A and B are shown apart, each in its own frame.
Chain A
Amino acid sequence: MGRALSLAVIFFLVLLPLGVGGSTLFQLPVFSQELVQELLWQSWLQSAFVSFTFTVGLILAVCYLSLWLGQRITAGLSSSRIAPLLAVPHAALAVGLMVLLSPSGWLVRLVHSLFELFPSPPAHWWIADKSLVTMAVVLVIKEVPFLLLMIAAQRDQLPIQRWQTQAQSMGYSVRRCWWLVVVPALLPRLKFPLFAIAIYTLSVVDIALMVGPNTPPLIAPRVHEASLRFSDLASLEAWLGQWLMIVLGAMLFVVVAINQTVYRRFGLDAIGRPNGHSAQRICSGFGSQLLLWLCGLAVLALIVQSVAGTWFYPALWPQQWSLGRWINEWPYAWPLLQNSLWLAVVSAAIGVAGALLVLERQRSQRKKALAWLPLLLLLIPQLPIVLGWQRALGQDAGWLWLLWSHAAFTFPYAYLVLHGAYISFPSRWLYQAQSLGHSPFNAWLHVLLPQLRGSVALAFAVGVAVSIAQYLPTLWLAGVSYPTVTTETVSLAAGGDWRMASVYALLQALIPVVLLVWASRQGNQQRWKSKHVRN
Chain B
Amino acid sequence: MLEIKHLTISKQQHVFLSVESLQVAGGSVLTLMGPSGSGKSTLLKWLLGEPLPDFQIAGELWLNGKQRDQLPIHARKIGLLHQQGDLFPHLRVLDNLLFALPRKDPRRHQAALEALEAMQLSDKANAWPHQLSGGEQARVALMRALLAQPEALLLDEPFSSLDTALRGTVREWVFAQLKQRDISVMLVTHDKEDAPGTIISMKELTHA
Q: Report yes or no: A436 in contact with B145, Cβ–Cβ below 8 A.
A: yes
Q: Report yes or no: A526 in contact with B74, Cβ–Cβ below 8 A.
A: no
Residues of A near B78 (CB, < 8 A) are: 435
Residues of B near A529 (CB, < 8 A) are: 89-90, 128, 130
User: CA–CA, A432 to B154, complex, Å?
Assistant: 11
Q: Report yes or no: A436 in contact with B144, Cβ–Cβ below 8 A.
A: yes
Residues of A near B72 (CB, < 8 A) are: 434, 439-440
Give the residues from 195 to 219 in chain A that come closer than 8 angstroms, CB to CB, to chain B: none
Q: Nearest residue in B to A452 (C-beta to C-beta)?
A: B90
Residues of B near A366 (CB, < 8 A) are: 53
Residues of A near B102 (CB, < 8 A) are: 437
Residues of A near B88 (CB, < 8 A) are: 429, 433, 447, 451
User: CA–CA, A505 to B51, complex, Å?
Assistant: 51
Give the residues from 420 to 474 in chain A that come closer than 8 angstroms, CB to CB, to chain B: 427-429, 431-440, 442-443, 446-447, 450-451, 453
Query: How near does chain A come to B111, taking the closest CB pair, in angstroms?
Result: 14
Q: Report yes or no: A533 in contact with B48, Cβ–Cβ below 8 A.
A: no
Q: Nearest residue in B to A439 (C-beta to C-beta)?
A: B74
A contact face: mostly helix, strand, loop, or mixed? helix
Q: Report yes or no: A435 in contact with B130, Cβ–Cβ below 8 A.
A: no
Kindly state whether residue B73 has any CB partner on chain A within 8 Å.
Answer: yes
User: CA–CA, A89 to B14, complex, Å?
Assistant: 57
Query: How near does chain A come to B7, taking the closest CB pair, in angstroms?
Result: 20
Kindly state whether residue B86 has any CB partner on chain A within 8 Å.
Answer: yes
Kindly state whether residue B158 has any CB partner on chain A within 8 Å.
Answer: no
Q: Report yes or no: A435 in contact with B53, Cβ–Cβ below 8 A.
A: no
Give the residues from 502 to 535 in chain A that come closer than 8 angstroms, CB to CB, to chain B: 526, 529-535
Give the residues from 48 to 63 in chain B that come closer than 8 angstroms, CB to CB, to chain A: 48-51, 53
Q: Report yes or no: B74 in contact with A531, Cβ–Cβ below 8 A.
A: no
A447-B88, A530-B89, A533-B87 known; A432 vs B80 contact (CB < 8 Å): yes
Give the residues from 217 to 235 in chain A that come closer than 8 angstroms, CB to CB, to chain B: none
Residues of A near B80 (CB, < 8 A) are: 431-432, 435
User: CA–CA, A440 to B51, complex, Å?
Assistant: 12
Residues of B near A531 (CB, < 8 A) are: 130
Give which listed residue, B50, B89, B90, B148, contacts A437 with CB less than 8 A: B148
Residues of A near B87 (CB, < 8 A) are: 533
B contact face: mostly helix, strand, loop, or mixed? loop
Q: Report yes or no: A437 in contact with B74, Cβ–Cβ below 8 A.
A: yes
Residues of B near A440 (CB, < 8 A) are: 72-74
Query: How near does chain A come to B55, taking the closest CB pair, in angstroms?
Result: 13
Q: Report yes or no: A432 in contact with B148, Cβ–Cβ below 8 A.
A: no
User: CA–CA, A432 to B78, complex, Å?
Assistant: 10
User: CA–CA, A85 to B131, complex, Å?
Assistant: 34
Q: Nearest residue in A to B51 (C-beta to C-beta)?
A: A364
Q: Report yes or no: A530 in contact with B90, Cβ–Cβ below 8 A.
A: yes
Residues of A near B144 (CB, < 8 A) are: 436
User: CA–CA, A236 to B186, complex, Å?
Assistant: 73
Q: Nearest residue in A to B85 (C-beta to C-beta)?
A: A533
Give which listed residue, A428, A435, A439, A450, contacts B90 with CB less than 8 A: A450
Q: Report yes or no: B89 in contact with A433, Cβ–Cβ below 8 A.
A: no
Q: Report yes or no: A535 in contact with B84, Cβ–Cβ below 8 A.
A: yes
Query: How near does chain A come to B43, taking the closest CB pair, in angstroms?
Result: 15
Residues of B near A431 (CB, < 8 A) are: 48, 50, 73, 80
User: CA–CA, A436 to B97, complex, Å?
Assistant: 10
Query: How near does chain A come to B144, taking the closest CB pair, in angstroms?
Result: 7
User: CA–CA, A526 to B128, complex, Å?
Assistant: 12
Q: Report yes or no: A428 in contact with B89, Cβ–Cβ below 8 A.
A: no
Residue interface mask A400-431, B partner, CB < 8 A = 1: 00000000000000000000000000011101
Kindly state whether residue B99 has any CB partner on chain A within 8 Å.
Answer: yes
User: CA–CA, A70 to B123, complex, Å?
Assistant: 43
Q: Report yes or no: A435 in contact with B74, Cβ–Cβ below 8 A.
A: yes
User: CA–CA, A366 to B53, complex, Å?
Assistant: 9
Give the residues from 267 to 316 in chain A that come closer than 8 angstroms, CB to CB, to chain B: none
Query: How near does chain A come to B53, taking the closest CB pair, in angstroms?
Result: 7
Q: Report yes or no: B99 in contact with A436, Cβ–Cβ below 8 A.
A: yes
Residues of A near B89 (CB, < 8 A) are: 451, 529-530, 532-534
Q: Nearest residue in B to A442 (C-beta to C-beta)?
A: B74
Query: How near does chain B come to A113, taking the closest CB pair, in angstroms?
Result: 52
Q: Report yes or no: B84 in contact with A435, Cβ–Cβ below 8 A.
A: no
Query: How near does chain A come to B108, taking the closest CB pair, in angstroms?
Result: 12
18 contacts across the A-B interface (CB closer than 8 A): A366-B53, A428-B82, A431-B73, A431-B80, A432-B80, A435-B76, A435-B145, A436-B74, A436-B79, A436-B145, A437-B148, A438-B99, A440-B73, A447-B88, A451-B90, A453-B90, A533-B87, A533-B129
A interface residues (Cβ-Cβ under 8 A, vs B)? 364, 366, 427-429, 431-440, 442-443, 446-447, 450-451, 453, 526, 529-535
Known: A435-B145, A436-B148, A443-B74. 18 other contacts (CB 8 A): A428-B82, A429-B86, A431-B50, A431-B73, A432-B82, A433-B99, A434-B72, A434-B73, A435-B48, A435-B73, A437-B100, A440-B74, A451-B89, A529-B130, A532-B130, A533-B89, A534-B89, A535-B84
